Each structure stands twice: as structure tokens, then as C-alpha cells.
Amino acid sequence: MYGSYVPVRAEVVNVPAFSAHADADAPEIIEWLRTAPPPSTDYLVHGEPEGSEALRDRIDRELGWTAVVPRSGERVLVR
């Protein structure tokens, strides 16, 4: 990162048959999320702002989860 090595303290996994580029209107993304335990907060950090906001609204409406589209440069403490 910025020319330096940074230790990774995360598990990297492959999610077969799932596209990270699914549209907010596509039923597959909500059905895939239904299989996960509900998070305390979902952070949507991929895609155009309008699409991210549409997906945020859909997650809230269909799953009842808290979803947030952070502002550019916003920092969030994840525990």
C-alpha cells in the first residue's frame, strides 16, 4: 500500500457463480444475501452512487438490514 507491504489479517475466499457486478435490480444479489447471517451494517462501496443507493434501499426494504453508502473518504470503524 503506497509502496509498502502491509500484513493482511483477513481470509480471502472465492465465491463461485456470483458476479460482483450484478445490478441492484437483479434478484440474484438479494437471494445471495439472504443466505448470509444479517450483519450489523452493510457497507456498499462498489458501483456508481445511484446504483449503490438503489441497492441500499432494496436491502433495507427486502431484508430489513441497515445498509450504508459511505461518502468518498469517509472512515468507518469495523469491529
- Number of domain units in the chain: 1
Question: What pLDDT, on a 0 to 100 scale, did the predictor assign at position 70?
Answer: 92
Question: What pLDDT, on a 0 to 100 scale, did the predictor assign at position 21?
Answer: 59
What's the chain's average pLDDT?
Answer: 84
Question: What pLDDT, on a 0 to 100 scale, did the predictor assign at position 19?
Answer: 57
pLDDT in tens, 45-76: 888 888 889 999 999 999 999 999 998 889 88
Distance CA 77, CA 14 (A): 25
How many CA within 13 A on the CB side of residue 52? Answer: 14
Q: Is residue 72 part of a domain?
A: yes
Contact (Cβ atoms closer than 8 angstroms) between residue 42 and residue 67: yes
pLDDT in tens, 16-51: 665 555 566 777 888 889 988 999 999 998 888 888
Q: Is residue 55 part of a domain?
A: yes
Range of the domain at 20: 16-79
Q: Is residue 21 part of a domain?
A: yes
Q: What is the DSSP letter of 68?
A: E
Give me the helix-helix angle, 27-34 and 49-63, nearest 10°: 50
Question: What pLDDT, on a 0 to 100 scale, did the predictor assign at position 23?
Answer: 65
Distance CA 53, CA 41 (A): 14
